[in-house]
Amino acid sequence: MALELSHLTRRFADFVALDDVSLAIAPGEFLALLGPSGSGKTTLLRILAGLDYPDAGAAQLDGRDFLAAPARTRKVGLVFQHYALFRHLTVAENVAFGLRVRPWRSRPGRAEIAERVETLLQRVQLGGLGKRYPTQLSGGQRQRVALARALAVEPDLLLLDEPFGALDAQVRVTLRRWLRELHEDLGLTTVFVTHDQEEALELADRVAVMNRGRIEQVDAPDMVYQNPATPFVCEFIGRVNRIPLTRNGGWLSAGTWQPGTDPWQAEPASASAYVRPEHLALNASQGWDALLRHIYLAGSVAHLELEVPLLSQTLEADIASDDLVRLGLRSGQSLRVAPRRAVIFPDGGGEGRWAWSAGAEWAISA
């Protein structure tokens, strides 16, 4: 049964942390809450954990009022960014803590607790380290202890609040892939808060993009990236070129580039086309004259900085590094560039979006 969140609102004085948030979380789903600082991600997570309560709204699970249940009965496991391990307890004692503080009627026996702790330490790849203290572990190992402690109480819902934020990049990559495998093995329902776009897009089944306390879009990672629902999602997820369009003779255009017949017809007078760097074609038959200012190599990808005088702006294009030699590209070279694909939004807060690609175009209503 899905966890249904309906019209949740939370205010702190004049600051609106959550603004009419509605969301359904399916059983076994890995959902990422993604957004900038102050967008409401952690507030929503704390409400699910029972550490905070909304000013308005409801949450239903299997027909029951989820928010009315006290935190200790919600069967929720919570992992914090900075681990929150007890320094005076061993690894094994940290993992067992949630079991040992249960009421005596529901508390497992010592032998069962010890067996469950050892099983969990093996699962999180910390077998044989149960007698160590947190200060004797690496950051990645401490994070696994925190996760094992959350799993020890056999939660129905696992909540992760930027769990890899304090780790270096290489350890983060290793741990997040391991976490995804663990999620699938255990069949958990997981809600993962992060401001790291790469983590969200790689790990999650769905991504909820939040901004100023509201959810801008909830969708599969590829849809959030390729078909963003709002200009904010366009600009927040990945890198993008924003190209102003103006209406001339009934057509929206940017200089010599005209995407085609738009779905708005006479309105609006202007719009913005959002073009990913990989969707900018080089040596296009239509488009704009451009000067290749700089080439930045980043492993298998080459980032190109293109000056377009007609637009009075600089655009970014991405190509495979191997194509640099094949195309004979060099700084100072003149090129002709044009979008192969774009998502277009009317200016002035108008409704609707227009997903366009060369050779095919279609309108998508907001």
Classify residue 213: in a domain, yes or no.
Answer: yes
Domain identity same for 155 and 37: yes
Residue 336's domain is classified under what CATH number?
Answer: 2.40.50.100
Q: How far is CA 140 from CA 30, 39, 136, 152, 297, in A?
A: 21, 27, 12, 18, 30
Domain identity same for 24 and 125: yes
On average, the pLDDT of the chain sits at 89
User: Can you say whether the dihedral through the CA atoms of 267, 273, 274, 275 is positive or negative?
Assistant: positive
- pLDDT for res 167: 67
- pLDDT for res 173: 78
Residue 131 has pLDDT above 60, yes or no: yes
Domain identity same for 182 and 62: yes
Cis peptide before 268 (omega within 30 of 0): yes
Residue 65's domain is classified under what CATH number?
Answer: 3.40.50.300
Domain identity same for 216 and 297: no
pLDDT in tens, 15-65: 999 999 999 999 999 999 999 999 999 999 999 999 999 999 999 998 899
Residue 81 has pLDDT above 80, yes or no: no
Residue 158 has pLDDT above 80, yes or no: yes
The better pLDDT of the pair 11, 82 is held by: 11
pTM above 0.75, yes or no: yes
Question: Which segment, 63-72, 83-92, 307-316, 346-355, is predicted with the most confidence on average?
Answer: 307-316
Domain identity same for 68 and 209: yes
Domain identity same for 36 and 168: yes
Domain identity same for 93 and 165: yes
Among the candidates 175, 204, 226, a domain finishes at: 226
Among candidate residues 205, 198, 203, the one with its CA nearest the CA of residue 177:
203
Q: Is 232:211 a contact under the CB 8 Å cutoff?
A: yes
Classify residue 286: in a domain, yes or no.
Answer: yes
Domain identity same for 244 and 355: yes
pLDDT in tens, 86-106: 999 999 999 999 888 887 788
User: 279: domain range?
Assistant: 239-364
- pLDDT for res 157: 92
The letter for the amino acid at 86 is: F
Domain identity same for 220 and 244: no
Question: Which segment, 77-91, 141-155, 226-240, 279-293, is predicted with the most confidence on average?
Answer: 226-240
Classify residue 347: in a domain, yes or no.
Answer: yes
Q: Is 72:51 a contact under the CB 8 Å cutoff?
A: no
Domain identity same for 132 and 32: yes
Q: How many domains does the chain have?
A: 2
